[in-house]
Amino acid sequence: MRDTPDEKLDCPVCFLPLPLRLPSDVDTAQKWRCVGCGMQLEAVLVEDCSEEIRDTVRLVREVKFDECELSPPPTAVVEFASTLAESSDRRIAERRALVKTVPVVPVDADFSPIGEPFMAVSRNVSVGGIAILHVVPIAQELLAVRLTKRENETMELVVKVTRTRTVGEFYEISGRFIAKLAV
Ligand SMILES: [Zn+2]
Protein backbone atom coordinates (compact mmCIF):
# COMPACT_ATOMS: atom_id res chain seq x y z
CA MET A 1 0.00 0.00 0.00
CA ARG A 2 1.31 3.35 -0.81
CA ASP A 3 0.04 6.75 -0.07
CA THR A 4 -1.10 8.54 -3.23
CA PRO A 5 -0.93 12.23 -2.46
CA ASP A 6 -3.04 13.33 -5.40
CA GLU A 7 -4.04 16.55 -3.81
CA LYS A 8 -2.76 19.65 -5.54
CA LEU A 9 -0.69 22.07 -3.55
CA ASP A 10 -1.18 25.74 -2.89
CA CYS A 11 1.91 27.87 -2.57
CA PRO A 12 2.80 27.87 1.13
CA VAL A 13 3.85 31.52 0.89
CA CYS A 14 1.42 33.33 -1.44
CA PHE A 15 -1.32 30.66 -1.56
CA LEU A 16 -1.52 30.53 -5.37
CA PRO A 17 -2.99 27.20 -6.48
CA LEU A 18 -0.16 25.21 -8.11
CA PRO A 19 -0.30 22.38 -10.68
CA LEU A 20 1.88 20.35 -8.34
CA ARG A 21 1.53 17.59 -5.80
CA LEU A 22 3.79 16.06 -3.20
CA PRO A 23 5.90 13.16 -4.52
CA SER A 24 4.97 9.62 -3.56
CA ASP A 25 7.70 7.06 -2.89
CA VAL A 26 7.81 6.10 -6.58
CA ASP A 27 8.02 9.63 -7.98
CA THR A 28 10.99 11.83 -8.66
CA ALA A 29 10.25 15.39 -7.71
CA GLN A 30 11.53 18.36 -9.66
CA LYS A 31 12.28 21.85 -8.53
CA TRP A 32 9.59 24.41 -9.42
CA ARG A 33 9.27 28.12 -8.84
CA CYS A 34 6.05 29.83 -7.88
CA VAL A 35 5.31 32.69 -10.27
CA GLY A 36 3.47 34.58 -7.54
CA CYS A 37 6.29 34.89 -5.00
CA GLY A 38 9.39 33.19 -6.40
CA MET A 39 9.35 30.47 -3.76
CA GLN A 40 10.98 27.22 -4.91
CA LEU A 41 9.60 23.85 -4.01
CA GLU A 42 10.22 20.23 -4.93
CA ALA A 43 7.11 18.57 -6.23
CA VAL A 44 5.60 16.54 -9.06
CA LEU A 45 3.64 18.06 -11.94
CA VAL A 46 -0.08 17.29 -12.18
CA GLU A 47 -0.51 17.24 -15.93
CA ASP A 48 -4.22 17.71 -16.39
CA CYS A 49 -4.53 21.16 -14.87
CA SER A 50 -6.28 24.14 -16.42
CA GLU A 51 -4.18 26.65 -18.38
CA GLU A 52 -4.57 29.10 -15.56
CA ILE A 53 -3.20 26.84 -12.84
CA ARG A 54 -0.50 25.46 -15.15
CA ASP A 55 0.80 28.97 -15.56
CA THR A 56 1.56 29.51 -11.87
CA VAL A 57 4.87 27.59 -11.86
CA ARG A 58 8.07 27.40 -13.86
CA LEU A 59 10.39 24.45 -14.02
CA VAL A 60 13.67 25.55 -12.47
CA ARG A 61 15.78 23.08 -14.45
CA GLU A 62 17.30 24.68 -17.50
CA VAL A 63 17.04 22.98 -20.88
CA LYS A 64 19.71 24.13 -23.30
CA PHE A 65 18.55 25.06 -26.77
CA ASP A 66 21.69 25.37 -28.87
CA GLU A 67 19.88 26.79 -31.84
CA CYS A 68 23.06 27.93 -33.55
CA GLU A 69 24.43 24.41 -33.49
CA LEU A 70 21.34 22.75 -34.90
CA SER A 71 20.93 22.29 -38.62
CA PRO A 72 17.84 24.00 -39.95
CA PRO A 73 14.97 21.72 -40.98
CA PRO A 74 15.32 20.39 -44.55
CA THR A 75 13.93 22.78 -47.18
CA ALA A 76 11.49 20.09 -48.26
CA VAL A 77 9.76 20.18 -44.85
CA VAL A 78 9.59 23.98 -44.82
CA GLU A 79 8.14 24.03 -48.34
CA PHE A 80 5.68 21.30 -47.49
CA ALA A 81 4.54 23.21 -44.40
CA SER A 82 3.96 26.41 -46.40
CA THR A 83 1.96 24.45 -48.96
CA LEU A 84 -0.23 23.05 -46.19
CA ALA A 85 -0.73 26.52 -44.74
CA GLU A 86 -1.61 27.91 -48.17
CA SER A 87 -4.26 25.33 -48.75
CA SER A 88 -6.17 26.47 -45.69
CA ASP A 89 -8.35 29.53 -45.78
CA ARG A 90 -6.04 32.17 -44.34
CA ARG A 91 -4.62 35.48 -45.37
CA ILE A 92 -1.10 35.46 -46.83
CA ALA A 93 0.50 37.22 -43.87
CA GLU A 94 -1.06 34.75 -41.47
CA ARG A 95 0.10 31.75 -43.49
CA ARG A 96 3.68 32.91 -43.50
CA ALA A 97 3.55 33.60 -39.81
CA LEU A 98 2.42 30.05 -39.18
CA VAL A 99 5.44 28.41 -40.78
CA LYS A 100 8.17 28.77 -38.21
CA THR A 101 11.10 26.67 -37.26
CA VAL A 102 11.11 25.35 -33.73
CA PRO A 103 14.07 23.96 -31.80
CA VAL A 104 13.06 20.75 -30.03
CA VAL A 105 14.85 18.95 -27.20
CA PRO A 106 13.42 15.54 -26.25
CA VAL A 107 13.27 15.19 -22.44
CA ASP A 108 12.55 12.38 -20.01
CA ALA A 109 10.01 12.26 -17.17
CA ASP A 110 12.40 14.29 -15.03
CA PHE A 111 12.67 16.88 -17.85
CA SER A 112 16.33 16.02 -18.48
CA PRO A 113 17.36 16.10 -22.13
CA ILE A 114 17.47 12.69 -23.82
CA GLY A 115 18.04 12.06 -27.49
CA GLU A 116 19.27 14.48 -30.09
CA PRO A 117 17.86 17.99 -30.25
CA PHE A 118 16.59 19.02 -33.68
CA MET A 119 14.84 21.78 -35.59
CA ALA A 120 11.27 21.10 -36.67
CA VAL A 121 8.67 23.20 -38.43
CA SER A 122 5.61 24.30 -36.51
CA ARG A 123 2.27 23.70 -38.19
CA ASN A 124 -0.08 24.90 -35.62
CA VAL A 125 0.34 26.61 -32.29
CA SER A 126 -2.47 27.33 -29.88
CA VAL A 127 -2.68 28.25 -26.23
CA GLY A 128 -3.03 24.60 -25.36
CA GLY A 129 -0.62 22.86 -27.68
CA ILE A 130 1.41 22.57 -30.84
CA ALA A 131 1.79 20.44 -33.96
CA ILE A 132 5.21 20.15 -35.56
CA LEU A 133 6.45 18.56 -38.78
CA HIS A 134 9.58 16.47 -38.76
CA VAL A 135 11.35 14.10 -41.11
CA VAL A 136 11.29 11.12 -38.75
CA PRO A 137 8.89 10.06 -35.99
CA ILE A 138 9.96 10.83 -32.41
CA ALA A 139 10.20 8.09 -29.82
CA GLN A 140 10.08 10.36 -26.77
CA GLU A 141 6.83 11.33 -25.15
CA LEU A 142 7.99 14.68 -23.81
CA LEU A 143 9.58 17.46 -25.82
CA ALA A 144 10.88 20.82 -24.72
CA VAL A 145 10.26 23.47 -27.39
CA ARG A 146 11.26 27.09 -27.72
CA LEU A 147 8.69 29.33 -29.33
CA THR A 148 9.44 32.79 -30.62
CA LYS A 149 6.49 35.06 -30.07
CA ARG A 150 7.91 38.30 -31.38
CA GLU A 151 11.38 39.59 -32.05
CA ASN A 152 13.61 38.36 -29.25
CA GLU A 153 10.69 37.22 -27.16
CA THR A 154 10.80 33.51 -26.54
CA MET A 155 8.90 31.05 -24.43
CA GLU A 156 10.00 27.55 -23.54
CA LEU A 157 7.46 24.87 -22.86
CA VAL A 158 7.22 21.15 -22.35
CA VAL A 159 4.94 19.33 -24.77
CA LYS A 160 3.39 15.95 -24.09
CA VAL A 161 3.04 14.13 -27.40
CA THR A 162 -0.50 12.92 -27.94
CA ARG A 163 -0.46 11.89 -31.60
CA THR A 164 1.98 11.19 -34.41
CA ARG A 165 0.71 10.74 -37.96
CA THR A 166 2.21 10.75 -41.41
CA VAL A 167 1.47 13.78 -43.56
CA GLY A 168 2.85 13.33 -47.06
CA GLU A 169 6.35 11.98 -46.55
CA PHE A 170 6.76 13.68 -43.17
CA TYR A 171 5.54 13.19 -39.62
CA GLU A 172 3.18 15.47 -37.81
CA ILE A 173 3.71 15.31 -34.07
CA SER A 174 0.97 16.89 -32.00
CA GLY A 175 0.88 17.45 -28.29
CA ARG A 176 -0.31 19.64 -25.51
CA PHE A 177 1.68 22.00 -23.35
CA ILE A 178 2.06 20.70 -19.82
CA ALA A 179 4.59 23.05 -18.26
CA LYS A 180 6.60 26.20 -18.79
CA LEU A 181 10.34 26.39 -18.34
CA ALA A 182 11.93 29.20 -16.42
CA VAL A 183 13.45 31.66 -18.87
ZN1 LIG B 1 3.94 31.65 -4.20
- What pLDDT does 55 receive? 92
**Gap from CA of 56 to ligand 1 centroid (Å):** 8
> Who contacts 42 (Cβ-Cβ below 8 Å, separation ≥6)?
23, 29, 30, 31, 32
At 80-129, the pLDDT tens digits run: 888 877 666 666 556 555 678 899 999 999 999 998 899 999 988 888 89
Rg of the chain on CA atoms, in Å:
18
Specify whether 80 is located in the same domain as 133.
Answer: yes
> Would you write out the chain's pLDDT as a tens digit for each of its 183 residues?
444 556 899 999 999 999 999 999 888 899 999 999 999 999 999 988 888 899 999 999 888 887 778 888 988 898 888 887 766 666 655 655 567 889 999 999 999 999 889 999 998 888 889 999 999 999 999 999 999 877 778 899 999 999 999 999 999 999 999 999 986
Q: Residue 3 falls within a domain, yes or no?
A: no
Distance from the alpha carbon of residue 143 to the mean position of ligand 1, in angstroms: 26
Q: Which of 27, 42, 59 is the last residue of a domain?
A: 59
**Is 172 found in the same domain as 102?**
yes
- Provide the domain limits for residue 167: 67-181
- Ligand 1 midpoint to CA 40 (Å): 8
Q: What is the pLDDT of residue 130?
A: 95
pLDDT at 35: 96
Q: Are residues 108 and 23 in the same domain?
A: no
Q: How far is the CA of 34 from the centre of ligand 1 (A)?
A: 5
Same domain for 14 and 98? no
Q: Is residue 1 part of a domain?
A: no
Q: How many domains does the chain have?
A: 2
- Name the region of 102 (left: φ>0; alpha: ψ -120 to 50; beta: rest): beta
Whether 24 and 72 map to the same domain: the answer is no
Q: Are residues 94 and 150 in the same domain?
A: yes
The whole-number pLDDT of residue 91 equals 63
CATH number for position 124:
2.40.10
Looking at the fold, whether 55 and 73 belong to one and the same domain comes out as: no
Task: Quote the ligand 1 centre to 84 CA distance (angstroms).
Answer: 43
How far, in Å, is the centroid of ligand 1 from the Cα of 112?
A: 25
Tell me how far the alpha carbon of residue 120 lies from the centroid of ligand 1, in angstroms.
35
Query: How far does residue 47's CA lie from ligand 1's centre (Å)?
Result: 19
Question: 100-107 and 118-125 as β-strands: parallel, antiparallel, unpaired?
Answer: antiparallel
User: 108 and 55 in one domain?
Assistant: no
Q: Are both 119 and 160 inside the same structural domain? A: yes
CA 164 to ligand 1 centroid distance, Å: 37
Please tell me the predicted confidence (pLDDT) of residue 93.
56
User: Is the domain of 126 the same as that of 97?
Assistant: yes
